[in-house]
Structure 1
Amino acid sequence: MFNFRKKEKKDKDAQRLDALDFVSIFMRTLKLLSDFVYVLLILMMMLGAGIGLGYLGSQIDNVKVPSQETLVKQVNSVTLVSQMSYSDGSLISDLDTDLLRTPVESSAISQNIKHAIVSTEDENFETHKGVVPKAVFRALLTSVVGLGETSGGSTLTQQLIKQQILGDDPTFKRKAKELIYALALERYMDKDAILTAYLNVSPFGRNNKGQNIAGVEEAAQGIFGVSAKDLTIPQAAFIAGLPQSPIVYSPYNSDGSLKDADDLSYGVKREQAVLYNMYRSSYLTKEEYDTYKSYDITQDFLSSGVAETTSHDYLYYAVFDEAQDLMYDYLIKRDGVSDQDLKNDKTKQAYQQLAKETLKTGGYTIKTTINKSIYAAMQTAAANYGSLLDDSTGQVQMGNVLMDNSTGAILGFVGGRDYNENQNNHAFNSYRSPGSSIKPILAYSIGIDQGFLGSASILSNYPATFSSGEKIMHDTSEGTGMMTLQDALNSSWNIPAYWTYQKLLNEGVDVKSYMSKMGYTIDDYNIESLPLGGGIDVSVFQQTNAYQTLANGGVYNKGHMVESIVDSDGDVIYQHEAAPVRVYSAATASIMEELLRGVIKSGTTTSFKSVLTGLNATAGNADWVGKTGTSNNYVDSWLVVSTPKVTLGSWSGHDDNSPMSNSSGTNNNRYIANLVNSIYQAAPDVLGVSDKFSLDSSVIKSTVLKSTGLKAATVSVNGSNISVSGETTTSYWAKNGAGNTVYKFAMGGSDSDYQDAWQKILSGK
């Protein structure tokens, strides 16, 4: 028994040892593997960093070092007031900077804040040459392995360069410039000058009025009510902690109110960290540190105040938006930012922010195309006659744009009834269904340009349906019969436009090419109701620009409001240059103007001309052409009119897309007539009342039958050859000229429609 138990214990001990050996071997193997992976990761990181350093080096080789005068001037540049002006140079407004900054000399800045900033932001400031190589490598390595941003390791000199010149986009190209510029700046300026510049430009959050502040003087005055030279050590420590995250650490909310205790604690904790940095850097003794860290800095904060506000209107914000886009383009080009760089959202956002801040604080003059007298007259007319648009559905909004045909310059606009009540700019930022106002642009002009239509062509207005079986309605009418292109336009019938557009699609016409040249973005060109205004939303500005194209002989000039941007030294950084794009042939445009003159003259869909003539015979007798548009259920009402000199686009409706009454078109006509009269009174020459549209010399004139819109010919009708003749007229063609009459002579229509049409033609009805 004894031997058996001993043997059993020995076996168990052996099994335990085997198990331990297995675990030991497994753990050693695992460690070897983990060490291998660790080494592999290190090698990959080093390779990545090497590649990054190599690329960074290649970018550095391409950096051109600015001159001493240029670089010093740029880093010392502080907030300058930018402004926008009318076309005559008179002031529209200064630009709101949203940033208070008061630069001071070095002697006016306490040594306390200088020590606090250096110990916290750049402890090697006094000894480095602008760049700390190991910090650059560390930041690059961190970026390569995806653990942080490339901005780590920046010296105060680099931060100054970034704030004042290069912005904060994360590309190697910018980083390379930052390094080279920093090294150069250290040769051009002494340390105290660099530190003073940094303290004068850096952001420090908000003051006690909720205003954004930059520069140590504004920080001292706006938070503690003292000058920068009088800052105590705790106050200096608090301010020095702000640049890392100015809004979070600021003691004030955006309305100037003091933050609650929890939110204040972030800034206070940051102040404590700065005090420790000052002690660690030997700017404070241990005794001083212990004294200051127990000081309650919150007792020094100013109580809340109220900032003065400046009110603006539609014009200010419309000009600023366009100017900001132009500044963005300028900065991208200036810095050589590639399309590949801009695929990085952070880079794009950084430049958008830089464009905004540069424009606001750079002392630029933005000269606009806006005629001061015309703009004022349009605002007065909107205030005095806007009520003409109102109906039983309530107050109706409007948007209007007046554009010079030959240049695309915007001379004036109306953004809405009252900016203080509704900030939506209905002239530029509101996108609505164009209704029938799109027909001449999308269907008929392209049809003429392609040689499918002449001015006297016949189109089917017989009842028709979409492919879904839904009837194509015109208000309550299902259709009539054959009609001329002029009649189709005068009454704005839907079915003829539908058939014309179907012809374009069936013939493979590149409709998108026409529309995209004029800035339209349409998701689906196969929507059957597209020529009726379905599946497309446009702004008043865009629609005005399209009609400008027709009035300008078929040449599109992109509408613009900013003529030039000039910097504080008088250098032009942007000057508008015409970039005309031919959309329609000159023949097409002149034929369409002939037809659109008929629309206005007939008065079928608009009483604009007669109302205007009653108000002002001279203005009413100008050579007006144009087109109306109404979307389903009277949700949108449009009228776009042109003279040879200008185009005026107009829309009215409710912001919530609710219907207006069926009098909306009449109301809009009355309002537009009064608006035009006001424009004429302010600037009689702008309308060009003595100018006339005329047919281009390239127009082909064909004598055609009124009944078919084509030349007289022998046609097989119901098995009989019939010589078709009758009353003739002149039809204008942009291409090919009129052909001979055929059985299916019209645009669109079914076999039964032609049976009926020929019966009427042959019976003389």
Structure 2
Amino acid sequence: MSLKKGNPRSKQQQKKKDTSPVFKFNVAYRVAGSLLMIFVLGLLAVGAVAAGTGIGYFAYLSSTVDVPSKEELSHKINDIELISRMKYSSGEDIAVIKSDLVRTSVKSEEISPLLKQAVISTEDEHFYEHNGIVPKAILRALVSDVTGVGGSSGGSTLTQQLIKQQVLTSETSYKRKATEILLAMKTNQLFSKEEILVAYLNVSPFGRNNKGENIAGVEEAALGLFGKRASDLTLPQAAFIAGLPQSPIVYTPYTHTGEMKEDISSGMARKDEVLFNLYRDKQISKKEYDEAVNYDLKADFLAPAQSTQNTNNFLYNYIYDEAGEIMMNVMKVYEGDNITAEEIAADKKLYLRYLNLAKKEIATRGYTVETTIDKNIYNAMQEAVAQYGDILGGYNGKLVETGSVLMDNKTGRIYGFIGGRDYQKSQNNHAFQTRRSPASTMKPILGYAPAIDIGLIGSETMLADFPRTYKADPSKAVKNYDNTGTSTFKSVRESLKNSYNIPVVNLYDVLREQGVAKEYFDKMNINLTDGEYQHESLIVGGTDYGLTVLEQTGAFATLANGGVYNKGYSITKITDKDGNVVYEHKEDPVRVFKPATASIMNDMMRDVLQSGTGTAAKNTLYSVDNNLANADWVGKTGTSEEYKDYWFTASTPAITMSSWIGYDDGTILSTSAGHSNMVYWAYVTNYVYQRAPEIFGVDQRFELDESVIKSTVSTFTGERPGKVQMPENYTKDLSGDKTTTSYYAVDGAPQSSYRFGIGGTDADYKTVWAKYSPPVQRKKKADKRPENNEDKDKKDD
């Protein structure tokens, strides 16, 4: 019986065959093959679309590229850093501005052929064959970038690297990459391979030298590592240098101080890679390779050395920072990133970012920074702090730090400054960077001067000195030194001279209510927050962040300059490499106080040195130079809470000289440190005077401005004598009282009233009136101030 199709037995046998492992593998293989073919075809289709899209996108990105001419491109790719300088007011160099890189350009014949080939074999083995780019490498890098697969695969030729370093920014975007590719191809068309290679070797970074300086270019690399010219390198030396550009700071054998790293194995391993690349490319023999790999290269490295330029000092850093800030604003380097000046001011990180960009521009482009700093004066101040700084003392190895600024009142010019006791121990510039509690030096500039300026007080207005607490903290008493008040009223003049706290806190309460203090500080560029002005203790130095010595010096110079503020400045001009002026200081005087106000304040602050808290300074001046002591000095002392800060700032009609002392960590000073600070201030001031007496204006005098209103007032009330209505419904006649002259900037003294002073409670007034008894009438004697004997009130009479 023949078997027919569909025979049950045959079907069973077939079914058995279908389940065999071999069959399953074949089926799986065929299915996988089919799927793979579909996937590949899909990829090709997607790839074709992607390639078309990519080409179109590249065309779009590069369509707006402004391709430079050969001359422009040549200038850019061969552009190297130029030396910039900062100068004293005399024109002498302060220093050459230290660039991030030390670089020397050399010609092709001055570079070892071994070094050239080592760089090509390591960085761009097809350098002589491609047209500036390697499309396959670019695609590989792009796929890695998009997919995240494959890690960093490079893709940049030497030509592209040169374009990135010299022509483009460090921005990472597809547009920048497109620009890089386009310019690399253009560069390859316009320049020979040798020109491109030499330019690359002259501009690329090569780590650090044995002085700790950052170096660029193969000549400085050869000199800084081996003490040889780039033309004289041995094979292992050339290989080591050729390996540096990939990661210069990692592979360099030196630290930032110039010391040899403890572990230089990464650099040595990189050198061996370079040697293998040369051997692979048949540029060296197996014997040369083996000898170079086994050579003790470490013995060739130069011993650490000191940099020939000392830029580690307060002056260099201060001027460099100031120039950087000026150029940041002149160049507006942030506007390209759509960032405003206001955003820069509000964000410290942004500020530092763009400041550093501006400083790099200054350091590398051949600028000249001309300053106001007088070399003789500045050096005298540094010698003085070295000679007399020990007066200030120290504790457990810590120095009592100090900061000073010497300023011209009429212009804001900074003649010199003291940044600290020892730059090697503390690089913090205490003249410009440190913000500390200004203590009682706030009283003239934030309290008394604004109050006189608005007509709230005159020089003899009475202020309550009764026990009181701070309104915001009733548990905390306001004190005058160690006492809680004299239970009397003190005149403004006496309160300022003796630096009483309670009277001025009472005065500031009124100023806070009227909201007038802030506008004065804003005009003098003193940066306090809005909230700080509401602190009762601000008037005695209770700030959140403090003031700098520069800010305080500028405020006192304003009073000494008739109430006109000039921002303190140290840079007069910045010129570029061709001598073009890119910045020049322009005076911008700002009227802060009325001339009358300033002259009244100077008249009162003269008392501080003659018979008040500042007598130690004046007496010390007499001990060193009578002529200097006889200058018309006015000023103010300051002692912060818990004795953490001491200040003394004083002016002649020509200059203002300040001194702050304190520990950086806020350690409490001795109670005698204020006296020490004034003695120290006098010694430093005299040291400068002996070098530059012409700036001090010792023959000039502060005079009361003609607009000052002089009112005859009762010495009891500080107001015009006359009849006073008492609460008990009777009057007291003060017309026979002893009188004096009170100086006003506005209106003049009011008529005496029961509540004649500022501050004090009803009980306080009841107490003082109960003690009041008219003096025995006698013939008036001439007051020391002649104008006191006649009422010259211009408005009240």
TM-score (norm 2): 0.77
Paired residues for 1:368-447 under 5 Å: 368-390=371-393, 396-420=400-424, 422-447=426-451
Q: Distance in 2 between matches of 1:672 and 1:356?
A: 34
- For residue 203 of structure 1, what is the aligned residue in structure 2? 205
3-state SS, counterpart of residue 757 of structure 2: coil
3-state SS, counterpart of residue 473 of structure 1: coil
1:639 CA displacement = 0.8
Q: Distance in 1 between matches of 2:608 and 2:717?
A: 21
Which AA in structure 2 matches 1:85? K
- For residue 755 of structure 1, what is the aligned residue in structure 2? 766
Moved more, 49-58 or 472-481: 49-58
Q: Distance in 2 between matches of 1:248 and 1:461?
A: 68
Moved more, 443-452 or 330-339: 330-339
Q: Deviations over 1:89-108 (max 9, x none)?
A: 12333344464323210122
Paired residues for 1:185-200 under 5 Å: 189-200=191-202
CA, structure 1 residues 377+132, in 2 after alignment: closer, same or farther (shift >3 Å)?
same
- For residue 741 of structure 1, what is the aligned residue in structure 2? 752
Q: Deviations over 1:53-82 (max 9, x none)?
A: 899679x57x6x777666644543434443
Paired residues for 1:214-229 under 5 Å: 214-223=216-225, 226-229=228-231
Q: Distance in 2 between matches of 1:578 and 1:213?
A: 40
- For residue 13 of structure 1, what is the aligned residue in structure 2? none
- For residue 304 of structure 2, what is the aligned residue in structure 1? 306
Question: Any conservation in 2 of the 1:544–1:640 contact (CA below 8 Å)?
Answer: yes
CA, structure 1 residues 258+667, in 2 after alignment: closer, same or farther (shift >3 Å)?
closer
Paired residues for 1:328-727 under 5 Å: 328-333=328-333, 336-339=336-339, 351-390=354-393, 396-420=400-424, 422-467=426-471, 468=473, 469-480=475-486, 481-509=488-516, 511=518, 514-515=521-522, 517-522=524-529, 524-535=532-543, 536-712=545-721, 714-722=723-731, 723-725=733-735, 726-727=737-738
Q: Deviations over 1:387-445 (max 9, x none)?
A: 44349999644322101112211101223334455544332333322211111122222
Percent same amino acid among aligned pairs?
45
- For residue 317 of structure 2, what is the aligned residue in structure 1? 317
Q: Distance in 2 between matches of 1:491 and 1:264?
A: 66
- For residue 88 of structure 1, what is the aligned residue in structure 2? 90
Q: Deviations over 1:291-330 (max 9, x none)?
A: 8499527633424502124544432333233233334444
1:110 CA displacement = 3.5
CA, structure 1 residues 55+148, in 2 after alignment: closer, same or farther (shift >3 Å)?
farther
Question: Any conservation in 2 of the 1:455–1:485 contact (CA below 8 Å)?
Answer: yes
1:561 CA displacement = 2.1
3-state SS, counterpart of residue 470 of structure 1: strand
1:501 CA displacement = 1.7
Which AA in structure 2 matches 1:435? A
1:88 CA displacement = 0.6
Question: Any conservation in 2 of the 1:406–1:557 contact (CA below 8 Å)?
Answer: yes
Question: Any conservation in 2 of the 1:442–1:515 contact (CA below 8 Å)?
Answer: no
Which segments of 5 or more consecutive residues in structure 1 lack a partner in the other structure?
A: 1-37
1:332 CA displacement = 3.8
Question: Any conservation in 1 of the 2:333–2:358 contact (CA below 8 Å)?
Answer: no
CA, structure 1 residues 644+171, in 2 after alignment: closer, same or farther (shift >3 Å)?
farther
Q: Distance in 2 between matches of 1:381 and 1:392?
A: 21
Which AA in structure 2 matches 1:753? D
1:492 CA displacement = 0.2
Moved more, 285-294 or 556-565: 285-294
Q: Distance in 2 between matches of 1:314 and 1:362?
A: 23
CA, structure 1 residues 545+102, in 2 after alignment: closer, same or farther (shift >3 Å)?
same
- For residue 245 of structure 1, what is the aligned residue in structure 2? 247
Moved more, 501-510 or 321-330: 321-330
1:762 CA displacement = 5.3
Q: Deviations over 1:210-250 (max 9, x none)?
A: 44321112223444565434556665454333223211122
3-state SS, counterpart of residue 542 of structure 1: helix
1:748 CA displacement = 1.4
Q: Deviations over 1:186-223 (max 9, x none)?
A: 67654432331221121111235544321112223444
- For residue 781 of structure 2, what is the aligned residue in structure 1? none
Q: For 1:106, which of 105, 108, 118 is the aligned residue?
A: 108
- For residue 21 of structure 2, what is the aligned residue in structure 1? none
Which AA in structure 2 matches 1:539? T
Aligned length: 715
1:749 CA displacement = 1.4
Which AA in structure 2 matches 1:733? Y
Moved more, 345-354 or 595-604: 345-354
Which segments of 5 or more consecutive residues in structure 2 lack a partner in the other structure?
A: 1-42, 777-797
Question: Any conservation in 1 of the 2:506–2:758 contact (CA below 8 Å)?
Answer: yes
Q: Distance in 2 between matches of 1:451 and 1:66?
A: 66
CA, structure 1 residues 487+623, in 2 after alignment: closer, same or farther (shift >3 Å)?
same
Question: Any conservation in 2 of the 1:639–1:651 contact (CA below 8 Å)?
Answer: yes
Q: Distance in 2 between matches of 1:150 and 1:586?
A: 69
Q: Distance in 2 between matches of 1:127 and 1:550?
A: 74
Which AA in structure 2 matches 1:477? N
1:114 CA displacement = 3.5
Q: Distance in 2 between matches of 1:502 and 1:251?
A: 64
Question: Any conservation in 2 of the 1:206–1:254 contact (CA below 8 Å)?
Answer: yes
Question: Any conservation in 1 of the 2:324–2:356 contact (CA below 8 Å)?
Answer: no
Q: CA RMSD in A?
A: 4.4
1:646 CA displacement = 0.9
Q: Distance in 1 between matches of 2:107 and 2:589?
A: 52
Which AA in structure 2 matches 1:317? N
CA, structure 1 residues 187+448, in 2 after alignment: closer, same or farther (shift >3 Å)?
farther
- For residue 28 of structure 1, what is the aligned residue in structure 2? none
Q: For 1:296, which of 276, 293, 303 is the aligned residue?
A: 293
Question: Any conservation in 2 of the 1:234–1:271 contact (CA below 8 Å)?
Answer: yes
Q: Distance in 1 between matches of 2:480 and 2:697?
A: 35
Instruction: Specify the structure having the higher radius of gyration (Cα).
Output: 2
Q: Distance in 2 between matches of 1:359 and 1:145?
A: 41
Question: Any conservation in 2 of the 1:545–1:558 contact (CA below 8 Å)?
Answer: yes
